[in-house]
């Protein structure tokens, strides 16, 4: 059975949200501790569920309180700080023109997910958007991908998951879906990429996905 469905992660895959995420964390650190943290500490958490990371960084602060400090800054600065990664918009349009079913599968809230997609005119290209509000479990658990497949009426062997963290890769693998890691991922080392949890495929540029799909057809 050939691949006809592409599932995209949002943060770090379709949309460059790195700056707004890092700045939101630094604002939270300044507010709660009076000092910023090394950027590397923040990047190491990319892909984690926000509340889990909050509990780890601020064990003495109620999670909801810490999360609201983060989210308030994030909401107020989201639009101006995001952009689409090079070639991704063109890739999405080409995939749609070729008849592929497209979905976003993200742990982000629906409000900012849709804000980002709508800002860059991408929302109409996706048949489905699965966010944290649709799931009870999150990446690397397979539930988000399985929910997407069920809603789309697709089988795992019909889909590819494109992501930028090992959470995306593990989620896809657990759901029985082949995975693609993007080269612009900042939280995955070359050692990770080539390790046991590495992806099935790796693309240097966005249009590299078209070559993979041609080989699979």
- Residues catalogued as catalytic: 9
Locate all alpha helices (DSSP H) within 82-177, ordered by sequence: 88-97, 110-119, 143-152, 166-175
Per the structure block, which two tokens stand in for 217?
A: 């057809």
Which residues, 6 or more positions from 80, have their beta carbon under 8 angstroms from its beta carbon?
none
DSSP characters over 152-214: HT--GGGEEEEESSHHHHHHHHHHT-EEEEETT-SS--HHHHTSTT--SEEESSTTHHHHHHH
Per the structure block, which two tokens stand in for 100?
A: 């592929």
Residue whose structure tokens are 């070639």: 87
Using CA atoms, how far residue 26 sits from 112, 143, 154, in Å, is: 19, 31, 40
């Amino acid at each position: 059975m050939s691949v006809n469905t592409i599932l995209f992660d949002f943060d770090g895959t379709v949309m460059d949200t790195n700056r707004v995420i890092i700045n939101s964390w630094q604002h939270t650190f300044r507010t709660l501790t009076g000092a910023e943290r090394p950027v590397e500490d923040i990047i190491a958490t990319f892909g984690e569920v926000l509340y889990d990371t909050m509990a780890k960084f601020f064990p003495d602060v109620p999670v909801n309180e810490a999360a609201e400090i983060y989210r308030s800054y994030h909401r107020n600065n989201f639009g101006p700080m995001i952009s689409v990664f090079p070639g991704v918009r063109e890739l999405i349009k080409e995939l749609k023109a070729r008849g592929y079913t497209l979905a976003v599968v993200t742990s982000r809230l629906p409000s900012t997910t849709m804000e980002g997609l709508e800002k860059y005119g991408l929302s109409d290209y996706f048949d489905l958007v699965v966010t944290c509000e649709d799931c009870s479990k999150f990446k690397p658990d397979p539930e988000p991908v399985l929910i997407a497949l069920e809603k789309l009426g697709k089988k795992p062997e019909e889909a590819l998951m494109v992501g930028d963290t090992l959470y995306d890769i593990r989620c896809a693998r657990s759901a029985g879906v082949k995975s693609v890691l993007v080269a612009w991922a900042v939280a995955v080392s070359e050692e990770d990429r080539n390790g046991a949890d590495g992806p099935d495929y790796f693309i240097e540029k966005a249009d590299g996905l078209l070559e993979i799909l041609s080989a699979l057809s």
